[in-house]
């Protein structure tokens, strides 16, 4: 088990779900990944469910706000990246062409965050920790292991995020003729990016996708459907990486699972 007491700047460090049915989501992911949850007040009568794996913080689940419901925002997972200074990074991102969807603000005593989007529409969050570092466990069945942007403008998206985070971009040719880019914070791989596959419907926007590690990809896909979720993309092999699939929970939030190649 890989446990953490901190995350270096530029690293994918947390993910949380915004959903229309918090109780159902807790039940679904608890059964799928073995999470337990602790609910914490987040103001206005709402609670934030901290999902734990082996006693370590693994992810979060929050209720959809009334404003988001009025805007018809679908249930979704958000990928968070650690930065030294949220305010400075937000200013840097805006100057580089990012859209600031939520300016920097304090999340009580947990940390400070902002939400950004690139020109193609890919949305992510940045986080400077106070009492909450992000995930206390990664790269373990049931824990986050990777994040990836599927974008309709990989050149623009890649240029923006490398400017914002100082990532090194390592472009790798894929067997199907496309390119997969791995972004590194220093020498450590943080996340990836690829062009939106042609078979994806045009109304699907660019988006960031969290990957959760699993022991058995096919078994997880089967269990997802048994629990009322759906298969967005069936299991397939990524050479030298592992077996992965893209899934959706019963409320429609999309996520991916990865069984690493041993």
Per-residue pLDDT of the chain (262 residues; tens, 9 = 90+): 689 999 999 999 999 999 999 999 999 999 999 999 999 998 778 999 999 999 999 999 999 998 898 999 999 999 999 999 999 999 999 999 999 999 999 999 999 999 999 999 999 999 999 999 999 999 999 999 999 999 999 999 999 999 999 999 999 988 777 899 999 999 999 999 999 988 888 888 899 999 999 999 999 999 999 999 999 999 999 888 999 999 999 999 999 999 999 7
Lookup result for tokens 């059964």:
31
Asked if 162 and 118 count as a contact pair (C-beta separation under 8 A), the reply is: no
Tell me the three state secondary structure of residue 24: helix
Give the DSSP H/E element, type plus range, for residue 12: strand 12-19
pTM above 0.85, yes or no: yes
What does the DSSP 8-state code read for residue 134? Answer: S
Tell me the three state secondary structure of residue 131: coil
- What is the Cα Rg of the chain in Å? 17
CATH at 129: 3.10.180.10
Q: Which domain holds residue 106?
A: 1-262
Lookup result for tokens 């370590």:
56
Per-position b or e across 64-73, b if 16+ CB within 10 A of its CB: beeeeeeeee
Q: How many domains in the chain?
A: 1
Helices within 8-110 (DSSP H only): 22-33, 66-70, 86-96
């Amino acid at each position: 088990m890989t446990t953490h007491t901190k995350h270096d700047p530029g690293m994918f460090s947390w993910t949380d779900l915004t959903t229309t049915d918090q109780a159902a989501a807790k039940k679904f992911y608890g059964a799928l990944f073995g999470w337990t949850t602790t609910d914490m007040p987040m103001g206005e009568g709402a609670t934030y469910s901290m999902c734990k794996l082996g006693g370590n913080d693994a992810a979060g689940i929050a209720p959809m706000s009334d404003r988001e419901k009025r805007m018809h925002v679908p249930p979704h997972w958000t990928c968070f990246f650690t930065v030294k200074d949220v305010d400075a990074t937000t200013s840097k991102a805006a100057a580089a062409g990012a859209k600031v969807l939520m300016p920097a603000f304090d999340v009580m005593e947990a940390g400070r965050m902002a939400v950004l989007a690139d020109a193609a529409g890919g949305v992510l969050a940045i986080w400077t920790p106070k009492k909450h570092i992000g995930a206390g466990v990664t790269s373990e069945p049931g824990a986050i292991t990777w994040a990836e942007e599927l974008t309709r403008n990989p050149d623009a998206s890649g240029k923006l995020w490398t400017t914002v985070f100082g990532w090194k971009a390592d472009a790798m040719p894929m067997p199907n003729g496309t390119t997969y880019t791995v972004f590194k914070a220093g020498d450590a791989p943080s996340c990836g990016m690829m062009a939106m596959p042609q078979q994806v419907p045009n109304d699907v926007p660019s988006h960031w996708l969290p990957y959760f590690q699993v022991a058995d990809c096919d078994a997880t896909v089967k269990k997802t459907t048994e629990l009322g979720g759906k298969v967005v993309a069936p299991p397939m092999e990524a050479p030298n990486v592992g077996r992965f699939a893209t899934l959706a929970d019963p409320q429609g939030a999309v996520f991916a699972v990865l069984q690493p190649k041993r």
